[in-house]
């Protein structure tokens, strides 16, 4: 790492300390090994990610950084340059330079020559001592061969039969048994060496869990959405005239949105609502009116849900573009026909305010960070949709489910209503 890079890191640390952001070391650990962080450390990083998009950009930079190449320009050195010898040996270039410098010293060659001479002298000494062994006791060599060769064969005859029970040594003399018993163990190790490669499939089997865990960690760094209302939290659901349906209603509709005016970051947002059961008859209608109860969308018939639970009404897919600036009230109602009064319905309120070009566009980000970005802007529907998409694409990851639950608690509805 150059001095310029080190100065940049020092400036970055100073800026992070002044902005009360997490330390770079904590961000680096969060980017590489989020599962090893404590809950307090995770919450610290997630609050910083929700507070500033600069922290998210820094985290994305750290995820793309190759920490294995850190200080690679210093590793070829040795201890003479102030670097540990183990770090120098870790690099091929450092090892080659160390060998060249070591061989260039005259004492090394002198020691090598002395070692070679000592080796030659020991070899000559062993050759001179070898003939003296038989000459020391020449009379005992022949009787040992005559007397000992048959007797161990006869005495050791039963022992090889126990060692090798295959039955190949049942015929013949004891010497044949010894020869066969001596030959078979030499074949047994060859058979035992052949199964040695069998453990090789085990690394292949272990590679799949490692890959799935790596994919799971990508979303573990998902920032929890911190919804910040753009126009206050004054409740709009006032008055006894708002009725969502009693126990005798054919179905119950629940709008999955807060009871105050929320910001819509596009003129065609996705409206979320939930249905406890699919009624046997009737149709669902969408109505949107402005602050003067003038209709913007009047009794737009919707497709009948195929199942209960979470429902989506995509205004852009329906070709509906809402006007900007004014408060709009939207409702989903169940009616037997267009002329019948609604059997059950529910309301939501929104105001279209598209982010300006100078602000970061959350729609260009992934679902993991998009939910937190939209929540910081006060765009509740967009934040909930991003969290729902992340949950659908990563069903085994608990982070998207926690994001949906956090948004549900801020809006005041049961998180179970947001299940499909």
In a domain? residue 84: no
Asked whether residue 401 is assigned to any structural domain, the reply reads yes
Q: Do 189 and 329 belong together in one domain?
A: no
Same domain membership, residue 395 and residue 267: yes
Overall number of domains in the chain: 3
Rounded Cα–Cα distance for residues 315 and 58 (Å):
35
Domain boundary (55, 70, 85) is at 70
Three-state secondary structure call for residue 286: strand
pLDDT in tens, 362-413: 666 666 678 899 999 999 999 999 999 999 999 999 999 999 999 999 999 9
CA distances from 271 to 80, 240, 245, 302, 409 (A): 68, 24, 20, 12, 18
Name the residue with tokens 């799935």: 212
Domain termination residue (choose one: 70, 103, 125): 70
What pLDDT was estimated at residue 129? 57
Residues with pLDDT less than 50, the chain: 77-83, 85, 133-134, 136, 138, 141-150, 152-217, 219, 239-241, 243
Question: Which residue segment(s) compose the domain that 50 sits in?
Answer: 3-70
Per the CB < 8 A criterion, the answer to whether 87 and 70 are in contact is: no
Q: How far apart are CA 220 and CA 204, in angstroms?
A: 26
Give residue 363's pLDDT. Answer: 63
Distance of alpha carbon 339 from alpha carbon 48, whole angstroms:
53
In a domain, 89, yes or no: no
> What pLDDT is attached to residue 223?
82
Q: Which two tokens stand for residue 216?
A: 């799971």
- Residues 243/244/250/252 CA torsion (nearest 10 deg): -170
Q: Sort strands 262-264 and 344-352 into parallel, antiparallel or unpaired.
A: parallel
Contact 142, 164 (CB under 8 A): no
Closest CA to 258 of 283, 228, 288: 228
What is the rounded CA–CA span in Å between residue 112 and residue 225? Answer: 70
Predicted confidence at residue 194, as pLDDT, reads: 45
């Amino acid at each position: 790492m150059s001095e310029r890079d080190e100065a940049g890191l020092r400036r970055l640390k100073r800026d992070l300390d002044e902005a009360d952001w997490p330390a770079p070391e904590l961000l680096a650990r969060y980017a590489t090994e989020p599962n090893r962080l404590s809950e307090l450390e995770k919450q610290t990083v997630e609050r910083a990610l929700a507070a500033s998009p600069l922290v998210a950009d820094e985290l994305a930079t750290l995820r793309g950084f190759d920490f294995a190449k850190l200080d690679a320009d210093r590793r070829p050195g040795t201890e003479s340059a102030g670097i540990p010898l183990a770090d120098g040996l870790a690099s091929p270039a450092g090892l080659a330079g160390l060998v060249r410098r070591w061989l260039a010293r005259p004492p090394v060659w002198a020691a090598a020559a002395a070692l070679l001479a000592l080796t030659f002298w020991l070899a000559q000494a062993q050759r001179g001592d070898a003939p003296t062994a038989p000459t020391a006791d020449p009379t005992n060599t022949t009787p040992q061969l005559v007397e000992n060769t048959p007797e161990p064969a006869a005495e050791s005859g039963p022992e090889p039969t126990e060692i090798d029970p295959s039955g190949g040594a049942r015929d013949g003399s004891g010497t044949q048994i010894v020869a066969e018993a001596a030959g078979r163990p030499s074949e047994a190790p060859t058979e035992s060496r052949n199964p040695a490669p069998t453990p090789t499939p085990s690394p292949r089997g272990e590679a799949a869990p490692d890959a799935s865990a790596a994919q799971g960690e990508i979303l573990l760094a998902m920032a929890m959405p911190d919804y910040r209302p753009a126009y206050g939290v004054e409740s709009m659901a006032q008055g006894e005239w708002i009725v969502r349906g009693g126990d005798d209603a054919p179905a119950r509709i629940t709008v999955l949105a807060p009871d105050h005016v929320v910001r819509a970051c596009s003129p065609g947002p996705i409206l979320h609502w939930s249905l406890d059961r699919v009624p046997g008859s009737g149709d669902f209608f969408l109505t949107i009116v402005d602050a003067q109860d003038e209709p913007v969308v009047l009794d737009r018939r919707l497709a009948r849900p195929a199942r209960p639970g979470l429902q989506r009404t995509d205004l852009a897919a329906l070709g509906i573009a809402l006007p900007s600036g004014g408060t709009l009230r939207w409702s989903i109602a169940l009616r037997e026909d267009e002329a019948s009064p609604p059997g059950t319905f529910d309301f939501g309120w929104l105001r279209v305010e598209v982010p300006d070009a100078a602000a970061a566009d959350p729609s260009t980000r992934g679902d993991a960070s998009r939910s937190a970005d939209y929540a910081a802007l006060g765009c509740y529907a967009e934040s909930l949709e991003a969290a729902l998409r992340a949950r659908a694409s990563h069903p085994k990851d608990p982070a998207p489910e926690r994001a949906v639950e956090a948004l549900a608690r801020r809006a005041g509805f049961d998180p179970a209503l947001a299940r499909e």
